[in-house]
Structure 1
Amino acid sequence: MEITPSKLVFHELIGLQVTIVEATNPILKDISGKVVDETKNMIIVQTIKGTEKMIQKNGTSFVFQIPAQLSGKHAQRYVKVNGNLLLSQPENRTKNIRKIHMR
């Protein structure tokens, strides 16, 4: 299933490249890497240096890179997402995309 910017919040985030562009904790700003895990309130990012950073979703803005093969486009896309929209258990959030497609 193709990932569109408007439906990114309903998709699996693990494996996507991400950059933190705004955060209530200024130390987290500009961290980037690959999403390796996700909980209800946190996204775990593996940085280029190989360290894992736990980033709270609440109060954080993320820019996700959607690869061309997942976006249905010829080039990769970048989507800015308010972390508050991601606040839920990942398995519950991804179930909602199925409900949207059934309508």
Structure 2
Amino acid sequence: MFKAKDAKKEELIGSKIEVIDADNKTLVGIKGKIIDETKNMLILDNGKKLIKTQVIIKIDGIILNGKKLASKPEDRIKK
């Protein structure tokens, strides 16, 4: 379970997410499970690829701005 204080440090792979806002409004409402993560992308189990800097997502009731997640997963967790 995510903690609001440390959410950006949490492992994202395996988390179920929902896009609640995006630069591209056609992405709003997309739900899925994160199966992979790169520096700039979240890859979902439904085949969708989300650019981190362009989305705001909800994980376990916590809202995260993708811009705060835009770094290599291993580097983000260390910070």
Number of residues paired by the alignment?
A: 79
Unaligned runs of at least 5 residues, structure 1: 66-77, 97-103
Q: Does 1:58 align with 2:53?
A: yes
Aligned-pair identity in percent equals: 34
Cα deviation code 1:73-95 (max 9, x no counterpart): xxxxx100011000100010011
Query: Mapping of 1:17-56 within 5 angstroms?
Result: 17-46=16-45, 51-56=46-51
Partner SS for 1:5: coil
State the AA in 2 paired with 1:89: K
* Greater helix proportion: 1
Partner SS for 1:85: helix
Q: Which residue of 1 aligns with 2:6?
A: 7
| Structure (1 or 2) with the larger CA radius of gyration | 1
Cα deviation code 1:34-79 (max 9, x no counterpart): 1111111111112xxxx310001112100012xxxxxxxxxxxx10
> What TM-score does the superposition give when structure 2 sets the normalisation length?
0.92
What is the deviation of 1:28?
1.0
Provide the rounded CA distance (Å) in 2 between the counterparts of 1:6 and 1:41: 22
> What TM-score does the superposition give when structure 1 sets the normalisation length?
0.72
Unaligned runs of at least 5 residues, structure 2: none
Partner SS for 1:52: coil
Runs of 4+ in 1 over 3 A off after TM superposition: none
Cα deviation code 1:1-34 (max 9, x no counterpart): x741110101110011100010111121100011
Q: Which residue of 2 aligns with 1:69?
A: none
